[in-house]
A = this chain, B = another copy of it.
Amino acid sequence: MKSNEAIERLERIGLRPSVQRLSIMEYLLTHPIHPTVEDVYQALVPEIPTLSRATVYNTLRLFSEKKVAQMITIDDHRVCYDGNITPHVHFFCKECGKVYDLFDENAPSLKRPKLIDGNMVDEEQLYYKGICKDCMAKKANN
């Protein structure tokens, strides 16, 4: 069953609500864990056996271009995606590699494009990196 939110987001950007697109969007919305393309693919193949990686790649790229999802490149070699498009900060744990959302007061929020030195800025991302709570605890126990 697909949520209204998934359908609405597709309609908003004028894309046909195919099974693949709906499932991918739905997965993003219900799994706020910053999945990689591979994560999404692996999660959905069981229910859509003919799904191809290319479709997942293309669809997620589309989503981020149309701003119904965010592409995150905080982890040097693996792009991941976030269906949460409200302002928040991404925190990358260098120990376990997980990406967390932090609702820090410094989260950039850009409602409309702004000009800086003549350059038009229409996207902002703040990345934090360090060691997460869990990994700190593990280290303390050694």
Contacts and interface: CB of A to CB of B under 8 A. Distances in A.
Given A71-B76, A73-B73, A124-B126, A119 B104 contact: no
A27 interface: no
A54 to B, nearest CB: 16
Interface in A94-142: 100, 102, 104, 106, 108, 113, 116-133, 136
A51 interface: no
A108 B130 contact: no
A76 B73 contact: yes
B136 A130 contact: no
A131 B120 contact: yes
A116 B102 contact: yes
Nearest to A123: B129
Interface of A: 71, 73-77, 79, 91, 93, 100, 102, 104, 106, 108, 113, 116-133, 136
30 contacts: A73-B73, A73-B74, A73-B75, A73-B76, A76-B79, A77-B79, A91-B116, A91-B119, A102-B119, A108-B126, A113-B130, A116-B128, A117-B133, A118-B136, A119-B131, A120-B130, A120-B131, A121-B128, A121-B130, A122-B129, A122-B130, A123-B129, A124-B126, A124-B128, A124-B129, A125-B126, A125-B127, A126-B126, A126-B127, A127-B127
